[in-house]
């Protein structure tokens, strides 16, 4: 059982996952964009944070692999371009690069049986930066939404015992592993830290699945979907639900700042 292709709805994302952009604002402060700088936003999505960078007087270029998200960013009047992160064609033209909640979607496998890697992405960012240019970002780290994906894996395996784990294609590295990846790409790492960030889900856990794992949910037979959705909630309720505060997700984030040496 393989998932259907990943697709993004800007409207659903804004409604049910708008917290992702809001929680990414501290990464903007780490980036510290300055007026007149040219900045690359890697995985720009609908342009919510890209817009904030532009408001500081920067010339910002966003790239994303989702045509729907690129179109949404362009509707904001932003320079968003459809491109795959592992195939960046820029060369020494940016003062800084920024990425929020996107790198963990960008990993690939160099060969069957090999571990996931974002090396081509990091190499492309390194080439895109001018000497001295900085790269600030945040991605899912080791243990990110583990309970959420484990519950989904259990639901899927009721229908296909050999189904892969739904997080098996996502890159959630340890701080040590990501630091090494940045250094292998040539970066000097100034900050790389892993931290838990339990995150409220105002729209509930099922809305989270509909945004981030809809291609896996679609593999549950339609006749069983209502019962399985209820089972997902029941499985997660003891850990991720509080009567006074509602649902939350077990996010673990990895925040970093690196620089291309002079």
Where residue 135 sits, what CATH number does that domain have? 3.40.50.150
pLDDT of the residue at 113:
73
The answer to whether position 154 is within a domain reads no
Pair of tokens at residue 121 = 């992405």
Beta-bridge mates of residue 191? 257
Q: Which residue ranges of the chain lie beneath pLDDT 70?
A: 1-8, 16-17
pLDDT of the residue at 1:
34
Q: Are strands 252-259 and 129-140 parallel, antiparallel or unpaired?
A: antiparallel
Cα–Cα dist 46/219, whole Å: 27
Cα–Cα dist 216/94, whole Å: 37
The answer to whether position 27 is within a domain reads yes
How many other C-beta atoms lie within 10 A of the C-beta of residue 106?
22
The answer to whether position 164 is within a domain reads no
DSSP string, 98-120: EEES-GGGS-B-SSTTPPPB-HH
The answer to whether position 93 is within a domain reads yes
pLDDT of the residue at 5:
47
Q: What is the total count of domains within the chain? A: 1
Enclosing domain of residue 27: 10-148+170-201+250-259
Question: For the segment 82-127, what is each residue's pLDDT rounded down to a tens digit?
Answer: 999 999 999 999 999 999 999 999 998 877 778 899 999 999 999 9
CA angle at 112 for the pair 67 and 106, rounded to the nearest 5°: 30
Q: Are strands 59-64 and 79-82 parallel, antiparallel or unpaired?
A: parallel
Beta-bridge mates of residue 257? 136, 191
Q: Where are the alpha helices (DSSP H) in 157-249?
A: 175-184, 205-212, 214-217, 225-240
Cα–Cα dist 205/16, whole Å: 10
Cα–Cα dist 216/66, whole Å: 18
The answer to whether position 71 is within a domain reads yes
The answer to whether position 210 is within a domain reads no
Q: Is the dihedral of CA 240, 247, 164, 220 positive or negative?
A: positive
Contact 94, 129 (CB under 8 A): yes
């Amino acid at each position: 059982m393989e998932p259907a292709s990943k697709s993004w709805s800007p409207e659903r994302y804004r409604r049910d996952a708008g917290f992702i952009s809001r929680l990414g604002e501290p990464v903007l402060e780490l980036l510290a964009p300055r007026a007149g700088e040219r900045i690359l936003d890697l995985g720009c999505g609908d342009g919510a944070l890209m817009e904030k960078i532009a408001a500081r007087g920067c010339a910002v270029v966003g790239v994303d692999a989702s045509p729907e998200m690129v179109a949404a960013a362009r509707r904001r009047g932003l320079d968003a371009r459809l491109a795959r992160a592992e195939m960046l064609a820029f060369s020494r033209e940016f003062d800084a690069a920024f990425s929020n909640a996107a790198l963990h979607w960008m990993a690939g496998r160099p060969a069957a049986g090999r571990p996931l890697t974002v090396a081509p992405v990091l190499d492309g960012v390194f080439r895109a930066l001018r000497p001295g240019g900085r790269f600030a970002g945040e991605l899912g780290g080791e243990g990110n939404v583990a309970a959420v994906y484990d519950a989904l894996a259990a639901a899927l395996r009721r229908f296909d015992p050999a189904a892969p784990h739904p997080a098996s294609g996502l890159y959630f590295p340890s701080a040590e592993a990501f630091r090494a990846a940045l250094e292998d790409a040539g970066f000097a790492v100034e900050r790389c830290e892993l931290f838990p960030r339990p995150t409220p889900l105002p729209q509930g856990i099922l809305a989270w699945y509909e945004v981030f794992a809809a291609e896996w949910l679609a593999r549950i037979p339609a006749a069983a979907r209502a019962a399985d959705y209820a089972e997902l909630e029941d499985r997660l309720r003891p850990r991720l639900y509080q009567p006074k505060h509602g649902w939350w997700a077990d996010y673990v984030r990895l925040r970093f700042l690196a620089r291309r040496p002079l």
